[in-house]
Amino acid sequence: MSPRKRVTMHDHAAEASLFKRRALFTFIGVFLLLGVLLFNLFHLQVSQFSAYEMRSNDNRIRVIPTSPSRGLIYDRNGEIIAENQPFYSLEIIPEKVKDINASLDKLEQYVPLSKDERESITEKLAHHRRFKPMTIKNRLTEKQVATFSVNQHEFPGISVHAGLRRNYPYKDLMTHVLGYVGKINSRDKTMLEKNDQWKNYAATKDIGKQGIEKYYEHLLHGTPGHLEEEVNNRGRVIRTLKVNPPIPGEDIYLTLDLKLQQKAMKLLDGRRGSVVAIDPRDGGVLAMVSSPSYDPNAFVHGITSKAYSALLNDKSRPLINRATQGQYAPASTVKPFIALMGLENKVVTEKTRIWDPGFWQIPGVKRKWRDWKRWGHGWVDVYHAIVESCDIYFYDLVYKSGIDKLSSFMTPFGFGSKTGIDIYEESTGIMPSKDWKRMRYNQPWYVGDTISVGIGQGYWTSTPLQLANAVATLANKGQPHTPHLLMSEKINNVKTDTPIAPIDPIVLNDLHHWDIINEALRQTAHHSRFTDAKYTAAMKTGTAQVFSVRENERYDADTIADHLRDNALIVAYAPYEKPTIVLAVVLENAGWGGANAGPLARALLDEYILRDDAKVTP
């Protein structure tokens, strides 16, 4: 009997239900995937359209920043003293050059490269980004530009770059005032990034390094523009889409008088020293010369390490601005201020007289402080003390006053602090006091210290600018001004004068004391360098010891080293009735102040006062 076959029964209803579920799941999956696709399409095409369009344009459009031309600098009379000149340089993009050394060797057939230039290129390449252009040769001549241009097809990745570069037509005449521009270094970049200004220098390679160029960088630099170009996938330019021109920097006018500056430099004749001239009516600096100087154009084009080392190691220190950074004992030039203090504090009066036998002693002390005139001046009052520069009178005056009164009286005249002039390179000088010596040397103040300070020696130091500024206040009978170099700006071709912030005057108990001191300075000039002048002047000379002479020794310039000889100083102003110019002259190691610095002051005042008869007070 054969076995029965199994018969499978199909549940059509269940199968139909399963099919429906699977079909529904598949349909939902497809719908969801389609929804995701549509959502992404919407996100790309609508929501993020601007962002992706920009990214696409970045690949298609190249934005090239363009540098602004730097503002020009003029003197007070409109003479240009800092300009921009066209220049040509060779630039290389390292990643586009297969063998840089071989290309440079070949390049020398057309454009010579010095040993220093080759070494500089090697140093720069070690830290330079390969896709950015790098300068390999500055200041190409027109002949070199033409020669290279004809053969440029041999040098892929190397091209001629044209632009404007700073030039100082008077070279070393105004270096310490104008400063210079130089290449932006890592320190400059850090400073710009910190101040959120780096974007403004995207197309600029130079920045103000010192002087006016640095202080007024924000005015002179300008605002960069940009050029938009459409390029293909190989970077070749198809067309120019947009040009946004840069905004040039502002032109500025300084208070400097070019002719007076030239005269001062000529008179110094390379000697170590400084001349500062100020208009006492507003504090405008008419001349500021520091000698010796140097040509700032070397820094603009990139000074070699050898040349910079020579400047740095020069014993005459040409890099120092002696007018604002040189610190000298003011010597007898500050005796008028000390006399004014004595009158104000009633230590002396206009009629007080003292006996000068040629020496002075602290009561109970054997040491003798000598007068410059060994046999003395006899009986002297405040007028004779200033005219004859009698040391004994001032020894006695400061001994009776004390260092604290002297220091506090001199502070409002600007001694011991920066004047606030609009350049960064300035020293404070030293106006000593008991507290100052304790903090500086951890030593007590001695009476002998006061005696030395009483004739502008000892710890007291001042810059030529401080001296000129203090004398300007004296000539103005107590009205000070902040020395400044900026006179006006040219904004949108409109010249606008710079406002001058007012300063509270120095008020004396007796205004007649101003007249006493100024009259003494007039008498000093009348009996000295200005006897035959066509105008009335006031002056005071000074001879500052560089090293101390023992009590019983005599100073002999012929037997000591040049760098130990006395400094010669003079301060002066004119016309006496209504001063328009104040001078401070310092000659290092020149000797007697009146004999050496005096002729410079007379020549400079003649140059300024007599240049225009309208300036002479009738």
Give binding residues as ranges.
356, 371, 377, 390
Task: Please list the residues that pair with 164 across neighbouring strands.
Answer: 86
SS3 assignment, position 327: coil
β-pairing verdict for 567-574 and 73-74:
unpaired
- Cα(241)–Cα(151) distance, integer angstroms: 31
Extract the tokens encoding 559.
């037997």
Question: Which amino acid is present at 309?
Answer: S
CA 208 to chain centroid, in Å, comes to 9
Please answer whether residues 506 and 579 qualify as being in contact, where contact means their C-beta atoms are separated by less than 8 angstroms.
no
CA atoms within 13 A of residue 158's CA, in its CB half-sphere? 26
Extract the tokens encoding 497.
């004068």
- Cα(263)–Cα(39) distance, integer angstroms: 80
Distances (CA, A) of 547 to 218, 320, 466, 561, 566: 44, 22, 22, 11, 8
Q: Could you say which of 67, 293, 332, 407 is catalytic?
A: 332
Task: Tell me, yes or no, if 488 is annotated catalytic.
Answer: no
Extract the tokens encoding 56.
């696409």
Residues in binding site for Zn(2+): 356, 371, 377, 390
Please answer whether residues 475 and 280 qualify as being in contact, where contact means their C-beta atoms are separated by less than 8 angstroms.
yes
Extract the tokens encoding 218.
């924000």
| DSSP sequence for 407-460 | HHHHGGGTTTS----SSS-----B---HHHHHHHHS----HHHHHHHTTT-TT-
Distances (CA, A) of 608 to 574, 580, 604: 10, 9, 6
Extract the tokens encoding 187.
């320190």
Query: Which sign, positive or negative, has the C-alpha torsion 538, 507, 416, 578?
Result: negative
**Residues with a known catalytic role:** 332
